[in-house]
Amino acid sequence: MQLIDSPLAGVVADQDGRQAGVYDHGAHVFSWQPRGAEHPVLWMSAASMFAPGQPIRGGVPVCFPWFGPGRTGDLAPGHGFARLASWTRTQLLDEDDRLLVTYRLDESQVGDQPNFPHAFTAELTVEFTEKHVDLALEVTNTGDEQFSYEEALHTYLAVGDSREISITGLEGASYLDKVAGTTENTQQGAIRIEAETDRVYDSTVDVTLDDPVWARRLVVSKTNSANTVVWNPWVAKSAAMPDFGDDEWPHMVCIEAANALDEAITLTPGQSHLMSQRITLLDA
């Protein structure tokens, strides 16, 4: 394990075939490839901008205190200010095949936020092992007024070909289709990526991604998360994003633990909420 300062400050472990890394910017997990794995588990865009004030494309962005443009549809920056802030690293432990990193963010670090004028702390704990990576986001209301917020661990998973994968576990779940603009949808069978896909599922269950091209499975499990987001931009949308390569969309899919829209979290003064997500790598 070593501390890095380029292209951004952070922590990286890259030895004996093991890769794991987190940037302080956004408390952003950018790498996980366990020892013996032929391919990385997390996808990163080659076009991503690694600069203060800019979001990082790929890995696991932390979306807080709103998701997308928020429940009102007009909040900026997209997915909230947490992924653009420099978090404070509070713990670092590297032993055997385990790397543990914790981060903290509060209102004093993000400046004036008229769309979220509240006192809070957000703590992200990331634990890398040889079998899985765990992420836990705990938000505490440290002020004297109740507030509500949305959150997501916006996980980009690397795949051999997104057109060949199948995603199971969400059969029968209702979902918002953000591409079609429809709300009354029910998942029928496994999810296949056949066009631009942007869905917010009402589901708390584990999701399995089967990747026949890379002969592996990824299981995404979670706690205290009412929504699962599945996203792939396909051709046109990826071409329109300056930090997303035109030909990169076949190699990623997002499966995200979230509490968004009607499932936003409300905290009274002194109250905390912890949402966690585990990504486990399995053979096919």
What is the predicted pLDDT for the residue at 284?
62
Catalytic residue check, 154: yes
The DSSP bridge pattern shows strands 151-153 and 98-106 to be: unpaired
CB 250 within 8 A of CB 163: yes
Q: Is the pLDDT of residue 204 over 80?
A: yes
Work out the average pLDDT over 91-116: 94
Averaged pLDDT, 50-78: 96
What's the CATH number of domain 2-161+221-283, 1.20.120.1810, 2.70.98.10, 2.60.120.560, 2.30.31.10? 2.70.98.10
The pLDDT of 209-226, averaged and rounded, is 98
The reported pLDDT for the residue numbered 97 is 79
Residue 229: which pLDDT band, with cuts at 50, 70 and 90? very high
- Parse the chain into domains and list their residue ranges: 2-161+221-283
For residue 59, is pLDDT > 70? yes
Lowest mean pLDDT among 13-22, 45-54, 62-71, 199-208: 13-22
Is pLDDT above 80 for 96?
no
In this prediction, residue 15 carries a pLDDT of: 78
Question: pLDDT averaged over the chain?
Answer: 96
Which entry of 28, 132, 154, 251 is annotated as an active-site residue?
154
- Asked whether the beta carbons of 155 and 220 are under 8 A apart, the reply is yes
Q: Of the ranges 1-10, 144-153, 242-251, which one carries the lowest mean pLDDT score?
A: 1-10
What's the first-to-final CA gap in the chain, in angstroms?
A: 30
pTM value is 0.97
Mean pLDDT computed over 132-144: 98
Q: Is the peptide bond before 7 cis (omega within 30 degrees of 0)?
A: yes
Angle at CA 201, nearest 5°, toward 150 and 25? 40
pLDDT tops 90 at residue 251: yes
| Contact present, 14 and 50 (Cβ < 8 Å) | no
Average pLDDT over residues 88-109: 94
Out of 61-65, 73-77, 93-97, 220-224, pick the least confident: 93-97
Q: How confident is the model at residue 7 (pLDDT cuts 50, 70, 90)?
A: very high
pLDDT at 280: 98
pLDDT at 1: 82
The answer to whether the CB of 75 falls within 8 A of the CB of 113 is no
